Amino acid sequence: MNKKINIIKESGDTAPFIRAKVEKSLMRSGAYPALARQIALEVEKNLVSGTKTQDIYNLAYKILKRENARPIAARYSLKKAITALGPTGFPFERFIGEIFNRKGFNVQVGVVVKGKCVNHEVDVVAKNDEKHYFMECKFHADQARSTDVKVALYVHSRFRDILEKMDDKKLCHKIHKAWVITNTRLSQDAIAYGECNGMKMIGWNYPKGRGVEVLIEETGLHPLTCLTTINDNEKRMLLDNNVVLVQDLPEKIYLLKNLGIKDKKLENLLKEAKDICGDGGIINNDTK
């Protein structure tokens, strides 16, 4: 029977602990139902009122590693892994750009686009034969921090200035849309303003069932920061060498060796990468 205890969310709000939510998140990460239930029960037994959601995550992650389920642990740690792409937002921009590249878009990261009044540096520009997206990738190192309405206002204003510079021929054959993508939450005002003005607003668990975590899962791509067989310094060295994806590691063996990763560790690293990525297939769901 579930304990009737309250936990503290990242926002600081309190909420009742629901064991089924832990089970669901574990199964989404690849845990089979019996293992998910076992871990969720063990987590529940160790909870007291006032436990933070981060502590719940840490405990479940620790149990996964104890149960020799490192690939599941890596996928379970997605939110933390995205946050670990910081402290700057550029690796997050590259990661989002790669997601759209794998979805068949022509992608540019950190590009300057001319507007009617001024030039604008756009984090990610993605286009194909039908769509043309201008994306602001708002990265926060603090998971409790939200992206507020000022960002939506700025992106919308910039987008309108860019459209006014584009000629009618370019405008008539594509769907042009401004995007805000963040690794944390969107404020209610940001969502309301963005949706009112036809923008695409993507945050953690927003829209419900179609948030940034689902966007990532659809492509089967994983940030290298989710790996458990290399340490933080090694991850940072790889990021500094423009390696962002677990999927890219088999093609970077020379770099891994140059960074001092020895043969046995390299073997374990590549095995974990393979286990995490599976067949590496892309679910090419249309991103409207």
Specify the CATH number for the domain of residue 171. Answer: 3.40.1350.10
Domain boundary (76, 98, 119) is at: 76
Instruction: Give 73-85 pLDDT, tens digit per residue.
Output: 777 778 888 888 8
pLDDT tier for residue 51 given thresholds of 50, 70 and 90: confident
Question: What residues contact 248, with CB distance under 8 A and at least 6 apart?
Answer: 224
Give the pLDDT confidence score for residue 1 in this predicted structure. Answer: 45
What range defines the domain where residue 112 resides? 86-288
Report the C-alpha gap between 65 and 15 in whole angstroms: 27
* Residue 287 in this model has a pLDDT that exceeds 60: no
Q: Are residues 50 and 154 in the same domain?
A: no
Give domain status of residue 102, yes or no: yes
Give the pLDDT confidence score for residue 6 in this predicted structure. Answer: 86
Give the pLDDT confidence score for residue 173 in this predicted structure. Answer: 63
Q: Are residues 197 and 253 in the same domain?
A: yes
Over the chain, what is the mean pLDDT? 86
- Phi, psi (deg, nearest 5) at residue 147: -90, 120
Report which of 217, 205, 200, 187 is spatially closest to residue 282, judged by C-alpha positions: 217
Residue type at position 284: N
* Residue 126 in this model has a pLDDT that exceeds 70: yes
Q: Are residues 95 and 50 in the same domain?
A: no
Give the pLDDT confidence score for residue 188 in this predicted structure. Answer: 95
Q: Are residues 41 and 166 in the same domain?
A: no
Taking the CA atoms of residue 192, residue 198, residue 200 and residue 206 in that order, the dihedral angle to the nearest 10 degrees is: 30
Give the pLDDT confidence score for residue 172 in this predicted structure. Answer: 61
Measured CA to CA in angstroms, residue 151 lies from 125, 139, 160 at distances of 17, 12, 14
User: What mean pLDDT comes out for the span 88-116?
Assistant: 92
Question: What residues contact 15, with CB distance under 8 A and at least 6 apart?
Answer: 6, 7, 9
Q: Are residues 28 and 96 in the same domain?
A: no
Give the pLDDT confidence score for residue 113 in this predicted structure. Answer: 94
* Residue 284 in this model has a pLDDT that exceeds 70: no
Give domain status of residue 192, yes or no: yes
Q: Are residues 221 and 163 in the same domain?
A: yes
Q: Are residues 62 and 110 in the same domain?
A: no
Q: Are residues 191 and 245 in the same domain?
A: yes
- 207 cis-preceded (ω within 30 degrees of 0): yes
Lowest mean pLDDT among 115-124, 133-142, 150-159, 203-212: 203-212
Give the pLDDT confidence score for residue 288 in this predicted structure. Answer: 52
Q: Are residues 48 and 174 in the same domain?
A: no
Q: Are residues 70 and 93 in the same domain?
A: no
Give the pLDDT confidence score for residue 275 in this predicted structure. Answer: 82
